[in-house]
Structure 1
Amino acid sequence: MSAEFDPLTSTLRPATDAIITLRVIKSFEYRTERNLILKDIDLTKTTVGELLDLAKKDIMTQGAFRALRNVEYDTLKLYTKAHGSKTTNLIINLDNDDWILSDHSKTLQQCGIENETEISLFNRELYEAYKLNPIEKW
């Protein structure tokens, strides 16, 4: 079957029932992160602030995130959209600070978020410090 007839997986679900992956980043230097998969997200109604609150609640209640609870998560930034190119930095996209979702009143759809989008969740102060000296430790 030709590619023109194969729909992209990101378009198979409606914007009212999307799946989003949040990359919860504890440490940039040690590349410590865990993915939080959020299902049934209505991109047309869910705001950036609501997504942030939902993520914080899940981090505090899901056992898999126990080791990541000592960070104050306050910032969301687009990492990649489905079928899009990824950055060479494995932990976060250091370019395009305009991809930071800073207006907490906008809906996810207004921010260009689609089904299967990956978004980084992190502490802004730690991010800014890492940008000044992006060295990875082991």
Structure 2
Amino acid sequence: MTGATLTVRVIRNFEYRTLKNVVFHDIDLATTTVDQFKKIIDERIQTDPSLKIYRTTHFDTLKIYVKAQQHKTQNLAINLDHDDWILNDGAKTLSLCGIENETELSYFELAAYKAYQANPVQKWL
């Protein structure tokens, strides 16, 4: 199966847990590269009215949050474990990165993630 459904957590802020889940249908895992999928996500952010507040954030990193039928992490925004799940190679296809149908991904700014990882404190207004 190559036409997959993927859920992407678009994360604007880790501390305040400002994020939105966006579902992408019919993604060809065998031919779509990481960089191509980032462009697809960026295009959705720029055109979807419900994502308007995310348009000023610089997103540069994709990370697997959880694969289908696996246990989710306690952190509702991002999986702080498994830094090897960060998709660094933009030329690799999604299937070569281990992404399967119904995988959940996080899309965020790497510098903000590193800062949050060093001090994972939730702030509430």
Letter aligned with residue 98 of structure 1? D
Q: Which residue number corresponds to residue 14 of structure 2?
A: 28
CA distance in 2, matches of 1:118, 1:136: 22
Letter matched to residue 27 of structure 2: I
For structure 2, list consecutive stretches of 5 or more residues without a partner in the other structure.
none
Superposed CA deviations along residues 37-83 of structure 1, whole A, max 9, x for unmatched, are 11010000000000001101110110010011111000000000111
Residue matched to 2:23:
37
How many residue pairs end up in the alignment? Answer: 124
- TM-score, normalising length: structure 2: 0.97
Match of 1:10 in 2: none
Offset at residue 120 of structure 1 (A): 0.2
Post-superposition offset of 1:17 = 0.9
Q: Indicate yes or no: 2:45 matched with 1:59.
A: yes
1:134 aligned to which of 115, 120, 123:
120
Aligned match of 1:80 in 66, 80, 86? 66
Moved over 2 A (4+): none
Please list every run of 5 or more consecutive structure 1 residues that lacks an aligned counterpart in the other structure: 1-13
1:119 aligns with 2:74: no
TM-score with structure 1 length normalisation? Answer: 0.88
Matches of 1:41 and 1:132, distance apart in 2: 33
Task: Give, in angstroms, the shift of residue 129 of structure 1.
Answer: 0.7
Query: Percent identity among equivalent residues?
Result: 51
Counterpart position of 2:86: 100
Q: CA separation in 1, counterparts of 2:97 and 2:59?
A: 19
* SS, match of residue 130 in structure 1: helix
